[in-house]
């Protein structure tokens, strides 16, 4: 089986995408007049833009590598797992969205200060650095496995002045540098705008590869013939919910993890505060719910088809620890022409960069607003200037980015990316439980957040060290952390005293959560909608580039006409965005 590994055309398209991302960062920098703009876009980001940004930030190379490997092996069981974010966002629409907007905070972790105490914010700030940096490194590691393999240079050695690196290591350095650069320059506007570009790339890529994979599977009989063949030739039990991951207990724990990850994650909270009002926050959550239901199906079903197309995928990728994790990239390299190959690699780059960018941003805002500013005031007697705060934020992003690249350089594999991610994210869920509980129930003392989080972490690490229920590590961690955290949290209510002066800010927060943030409180800002003009222009440029790729020779399996289809879709999206920008930039 012959794959279309990346050639010069694909390299040019990838480089062109990198240029666009950096350009977006520079464009965004012009909107950053102060730290409020840098961190949350001044609360003026349109909900549609914030919604697409929020959705795409939940993607990463994990979805197209680790999750694809899981889908290849387990079949239809992947559907309830990877669409679980839909239910999380539904809960967000009805409950969390408006409450986060009503919290009236300038940084995500400021909620901890208002709900619990400044000590809780310091505790979370310090303890979150290591797991979040590992998360960035893990995402970058998975991404560069994909990229270096797709580009065909993962095993090559590159030398420069006596310094040697493999293709995999070189991809870490280049991708990591771009990720740091555009985030440091642009702040939240860079995150949102680049996420929007990434959303378009992901949508177009998945919409195309979905029918193409089934048409190939149908062997000339069309899309429906491919679907019938998948049903008839799939391994026994491929369309049945079976195994450990299909157990009600695992699915419950995974859904609980999604509820926390998509409702109380710091990047999520920041998105809710980037829109003008609570109705916008709810609309954002509803848009994300729809996208998280439809989007995963567009890549789950093709990966299931790849089980028939590549029945012995281990023979194709013998160097992979888990060869099934190459199922999606194998489809792309087999069925898409040059031009689109670069497009797909750019899409995977886009998704992971957006995911990491959210982490950069909230760590920077926490370091600046919740640590640097209070400490500066304590010793200087006055607050630091906006310029100093911006410098601290950018330095933080730079340091965290370098640390993430370093982790990606050295991190080993542990039984495949999916299993590693499950155990990793189940451990850090201990930090999310007190946040969710603190939002829902507000009659516990100032120390309850630290106590419940610490107890959950201690119990989870102890059970892991002792090897208790080792074969069910994810379920073990989620259940133990949620139970212990809840018991300690609600048990602490016995010591709650409303008249305690340390609960004065909690009382103000409780009052704020009862006061809606309505549209009439927000001044119309036509400039906020100018970003759609930029996005429209980017889509048109990318569309023209792909249409021109009709000149690139294709194959019978991967004709160059696919490039034209993708280009036409991008041009149509660009035209709609440009028209929307002209309409919305004028107040009614």
- CA-CA distance, 157 to 161, in Å (whole number)? 13
b/e map 337-360, b = 16+ CB within 10 Å: bbbbbbbbbbbbbbbbbbbbbbbb
Q: Is residue 431 part of a domain?
A: no
Shared domain for 563 and 587, answered yes or no, is yes
Shared domain for 99 and 247, answered yes or no, is yes
Predicted pLDDT at 34? 46
Shared domain for 286 and 271, answered yes or no, is yes
User: At 131, which CATH number?
Assistant: 1.20.1730.10
Q: Is residue 456 part of a domain?
A: no
Predicted pLDDT at 155? 63
- CA-CA distance, 43 to 10, in Å (whole number)? 38
Shared domain for 143 and 279, answered yes or no, is yes
Predicted pLDDT at 495? 96
- CA-CA distance, 323 to 310, in Å (whole number)? 11
Shared domain for 407 and 549, answered yes or no, is no
Residues 6+ apart with CB under 8 A from 158: 164, 165, 166, 167, 170
- CA-CA distance, 49 to 61, in Å (whole number)? 22
Rg (CA), the chain: 24
Q: Is residue 446 part of a domain?
A: no
- CA-CA distance, 205 to 332, in Å (whole number)? 9
| 344 close to 205: Cβ distance less than 8 angstroms | yes
| 411 close to 122: Cβ distance less than 8 angstroms | no
Shared domain for 413 and 530, answered yes or no, is no
Number of independent structural domains in the chain: 2
- CA-CA distance, 206 to 82, in Å (whole number)? 15
The encoded tokens of residue 311 equal 């029945």
| 357 close to 29: Cβ distance less than 8 angstroms | no
Predicted pLDDT at 389? 83
Predicted pLDDT at 38? 44
Shared domain for 514 and 527, answered yes or no, is no
- CA-CA distance, 588 to 570, in Å (whole number)? 29
Domain end call among 486, 518, 550 = 518
What pTM, to 2 d.p., does this model score? 0.80
The encoded tokens of residue 533 equal 């003009």
Predicted pLDDT at 39? 44
Q: Is residue 482 part of a domain?
A: no
Q: Is residue 467 part of a domain?
A: no
Shared domain for 254 and 380, answered yes or no, is yes
**Which of 225, 296, 266 is CA-nearest to residue 80?**
296
Full pLDDT tens readout for the chain, 588 residues = 677 777 888 888 888 877 877 676 666 555 545 444 444 444 567 788 778 777 766 666 677 777 888 999 999 999 999 999 999 999 999 999 999 999 988 777 789 999 999 899 888 877 877 777 777 777 777 777 777 767 777 667 888 777 788 777 788 888 788 777 766 665 555 556 666 777 777 788 888 899 999 999 999 899 999 999 999 999 999 999 877 788 889 999 999 989 998 899 877 787 787 788 899 999 999 999 999 998 888 889 999 999 999 999 988 877 666 788 889 888 888 898 998 888 778 767 766 666 666 677 667 777 777 678 888 888 888 888 888 887 887 788 788 878 888 877 776 455 555 666 667 767 778 889 999 999 999 999 999 999 999 999 999 999 988 988 888 888 999 999 999 999 999 999 999 999 999 999 999 999 999 999 886 554 445 555 566 787 888 889 989 999 999 998 888 889 999 999 999 999 999 998 888 777 765 654
Residue that is written with structure tokens 């023979």 in the block: 315
Shared domain for 55 and 137, answered yes or no, is yes
Shared domain for 558 and 501, answered yes or no, is no
Q: Positive or negative CA dihedral for 364, 370, 372, 377?
A: positive
Q: Is residue 307 part of a domain?
A: yes
**Which of 102, 135, 89 is CA-nearest to residue 259?**
89
- CA-CA distance, 276 to 122, in Å (whole number)? 28
Q: Is residue 462 part of a domain?
A: no
Shared domain for 550 and 513, answered yes or no, is no
Residues 6+ apart with CB under 8 A from 583: none
Q: Is residue 430 part of a domain?
A: no
The residue range of the domain holding 569 is: 523-588
Shared domain for 506 and 555, answered yes or no, is no
Domain end call among 484, 518, 552 = 518
Predicted pLDDT at 325? 82
């Amino acid at each position: 089986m012959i794959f279309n590994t990346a050639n010069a055309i694909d390299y040019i398209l990838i480089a062109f995408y990198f240029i666009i991302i950096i350009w977006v960062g520079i464009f965004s920098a012009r909107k950053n007049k102060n730290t409020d703009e840098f961190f949350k876009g001044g609360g003026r980001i349109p909900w549609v833009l914030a919604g697409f940004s929020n959705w795409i930030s939940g993607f990463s190379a994990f979805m197209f590598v680790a999750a694809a490997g899981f889908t290849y092996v387990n079949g239809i069981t992947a559907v309830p797992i990877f669409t679980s974010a839909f239910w999380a966002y539904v809960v967000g629409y009805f409950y969390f969205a408006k409450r986060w907007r009503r919290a009236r905070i300038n940084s995500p972790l400021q909620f901890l200060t208002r709900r619990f105490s400044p000590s809780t914010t310091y505790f979370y700030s310090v303890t979150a650095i290591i797991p979040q940096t590992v998360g960035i490194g893990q995402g970058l590691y998975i991404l560069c496995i994909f990229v270096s393999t797709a580009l065909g240079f993962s095993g090559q050695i590159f030398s420069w002045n006596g310094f040697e690196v493999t293709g995999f290591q070189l991809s870490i350095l280049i991708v990591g540098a771009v990720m740091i650069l555009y985030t440091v320059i642009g702040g939240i506007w860079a995150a949102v705008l680049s996420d929007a570009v990434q959303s378009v790339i992901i949508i177009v890529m998945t919409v195309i590869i979905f029918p193409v994979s089934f048409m190939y599977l149908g062997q000339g009989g069309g899309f429906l013939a491919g679907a019938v063949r998948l049903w008839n030739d799939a391994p026994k039990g491929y369309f049945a919910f079976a195994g450990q991951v299909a157990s009600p207990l695992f699915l419950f724990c995974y859904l609980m993890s999604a509820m926390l990850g998509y409702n109380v994650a710091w990047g999520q909270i920041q998105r809710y505060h980037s829109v003008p009002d609570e109705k916008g926050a709810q609309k954002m959550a509803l848009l994300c719910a729809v996208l998280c239901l439809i989007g995963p199906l567009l890549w789950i079903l093709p990966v299931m088809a790849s089980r028939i197309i590549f029945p012995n995928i281990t023979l194709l990728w013998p160097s992979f620890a888990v060869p099934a994790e190459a199922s999606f990239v194998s489809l792309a390299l087999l069925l898409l022409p040059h031009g689109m190959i670069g497009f797909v690699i750019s899409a995977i780059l886009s998704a992971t960069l957006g995911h990491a960018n959210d982490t950069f941003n909230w760590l920077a805002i926490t370091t600046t607003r919740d640590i640097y500013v209070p400490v500066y005031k304590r010793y200087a007697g006055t607050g630091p200037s906006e310029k100093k705060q911006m410098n601290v934020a950018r330095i933080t992003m730079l340091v965290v980015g370098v640390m993430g690249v370093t982790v990606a350089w050295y991190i080993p594999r542990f039984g495949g990316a999916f299993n590693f991610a499950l155990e990793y994210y189940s451990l850090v869920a201990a930090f999310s439980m007190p946040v969710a509980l603190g939002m829902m129930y507000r009659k516990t003392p100032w120390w309850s957040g630290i106590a419940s989080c610490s107890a959950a972490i201690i119990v989870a690490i102890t059970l892991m060290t002792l090897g208790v229920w080792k074969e069910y590590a994810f379920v073990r961690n989620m259940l133990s952390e949620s139970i212990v955290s809840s018991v300690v949290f609600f048990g602490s209510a016995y010591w709650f005293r409303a008249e305690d002066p340390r609960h004065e800010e909690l009382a103000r927060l409780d009052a704020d959560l009862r006061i809606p943030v309505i549209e009439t409180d927000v001044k119309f800002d036509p400039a906020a909608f100018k970003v759609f003009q930029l996005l429209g222009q980017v889509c048109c440029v990318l569309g023209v580039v792909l249409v021109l790729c009709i000149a690139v020779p294709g194959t019978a399996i991967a004709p160059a006409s696919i490039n034209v289809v993708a280009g036409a879709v991008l041009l149509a999206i660009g035209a709609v965005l440009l028209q929307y920008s002209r309409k919305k930039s004028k107040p009614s």
